[in-house]
Amino acid sequence: MYFDLLLPSVLFFVITGSIFLQRKLEDTLFSLLEEKKLNIREAALTVAWMGVAVTAVVFIPGEAIQILFLSAYSYMLFSFTYMALKKWYIAVFPPILFLSSYFFYWNLIVFNIFVIIFSMIITVYVSGLFSWKTVWIFAILLTIMDVIQVFFTGFMGQSATKMMELKLPVLLMLPTYPPGLTVGLGLGDLFLAGLLSIQTAEKRGVKAGVLTAATNSLAMFIFEVALLNTMFARFFPATLVVIAGSIMGLGATYLIKLG
C-alpha cells in the first residue's frame, strides 16, 4: 500500500507558520486594512473573479502570463517585506532574489520554497479581510468553483499544466515519502487551508488554529492514501479535502473545549 508523509507534514508546517506570522503582523495588518472586511457579495465576486482568472490563463499567451505573474509576485514580495520591516532598501532584495532564482537558478527545491513563501504571504495578507461567517461562505463558494473548473470545464487542470510548463510557482510539487511518486498541491489550496486555520485561531485561540492545521494534514494524508492506491484522478479539487480537514478541526476543537 502506498502512502505519503511528506506533503501532509509540509502542509501542517506551512499552515502553522501562517498562523504565527499573521499574529506577529496582526497590528500592522489591522492598521493597513483600516478594519475593512469583505461582505458576502464581495466574497462571492472574489470567487467569481478567481474563476474567470483560471479560465483566462488557458487562453492568454504564455509570455503574457509569465510577465503578469512575475510582476505580481515581485510586487508582493516587495510590499510584504516593506510592510514588515518599514525599510524600502531591504524590501527591494526579495524580488531581486526571486527573479534571479527564476531565470538563473531554478530547481525544484527553490521552486517549492517560493510556493510556500507566496502561499504564506497571500494568506496573511488576505486573512484580515474576512469575518468568521464570511470566510466559510467564501470557502464553500471557492470549493464549488474548484469542482466546476476541475470536473466540468477542465480549465483548472489546463491552467495548472500551462503555468507549470512556464515554471511559475503555483503548485507545491513534492516527492512522496516513502519515495515512489510525485504529488502536487495548488497555491489556492494552501491559501484556503491557511485562511480557515487563521480564522479558527482568531475565533477559538491559537491552539484551535494549530489543531485545525493538524486535522488538515490528517485529511490530506487520508486523501493521498486513497489517491495513490487507486489513481482515480489526475486532477482533483483539493479544496474539498481542505474543507473536510477544517470541519474536522472545528469538531475536535469543540470536543476538547478549546478556546
pLDDT in tens, 120-166: 999 999 998 999 999 999 999 999 999 999 999 999 999 999 999 99
Cβ count within 10 A of residue 182: 11
Phi, psi at residue 114, to the nearest 5°?
-70, -30
Helix (H, G, I), strand (E, B) or coil at 86: coil
What is the b/e burial string over 188-207, where b = at least 16 CB atoms within 10 angstroms of the residue's CB? bbbbbbbbbbbbbbbebebe
pLDDT in tens, 6-59: 999 999 999 999 999 999 998 887 777 666 889 999 999 999 999 999 999 999
Confidence of residue 178 (pLDDT cuts 50, 70, 90): confident
Give the per-residue pLDDT at 231. 83
Instruction: Considering only the C-alpha atoms of the chain, give the largest distance between any 2 of them, rounded to a whole number of Å.
Output: 52
Domain ranges in the chain are 6-255
Whether the full predicted model's pTM is greater than 0.75, yes or no, is yes
Confidence of residue 211 (pLDDT cuts 50, 70, 90): very high
